[in-house]
Amino acid sequence: MNIYDFITPSDPITFKAKDDKIALCCALLIGNGKVSCKNLDTGKSVPSLLIFSDNPEKAIDDFLGENPKEFINSNKSNIIECLESFAYVTHYNRARYDADCASQKDLEELKKFKDRHEERKRTSTSGWVKAAWDFAQEMAEDK
């Protein structure tokens, strides 16, 4: 799993994804095509702003290798996992955050920990991380 920076003008947000295609798809879903992301493991920016190209549908299809709906359907579990990994945490603190998540005893305790962390670390009213978690839950229920 690679770590990505979800580039917004306010809070530092990182997330994990299997590859750049999954990262792009999640950035497009959560950021409505207006937010970029960067692969912090490789240092390369993912072209999340394809939506502003001359032909955004074609640019996104070309990058994903298929249309987004098909891509989402064929990668649903990876996308859910990616969306669930969104957190208000820098790359430098990501390992500690992940260890803290792993130390929670059950899913309910993990949810409480993540909610408390989100509430303490979020300074903007955007709610990007909660939106990612909610989207992941909707997708999981839709399986």
Give the residue-averaged pLDDT of 38-66: 80
Model confidence pLDDT, tens digit, residues 119-139: 888 777 678 899 999 999 999
Continuous segment of H or E residues that includes residue 39: strand 36-39
Residue 84's nearest CA partner among 30, 34, 20 is 30
Model confidence pLDDT, tens digit, residues 69-107: 999 999 999 999 999 999 999 889 999 999 999 999 998
Which residues touch 126 (CB under 8 Å, ≥6 apart)?
8, 10, 11
Average pLDDT, the chain: 87
* End-to-end alpha carbon distance in the chain: 23
Residue 49 has pLDDT above 70, yes or no: no
Residue 129's nearest CA partner among 80, 83, 72, 95 is 83
Looking at residue 143, its pLDDT comes to 62
Which residues touch 110 (CB under 8 Å, ≥6 apart)?
101, 104
Looking at residue 48, its pLDDT comes to 63
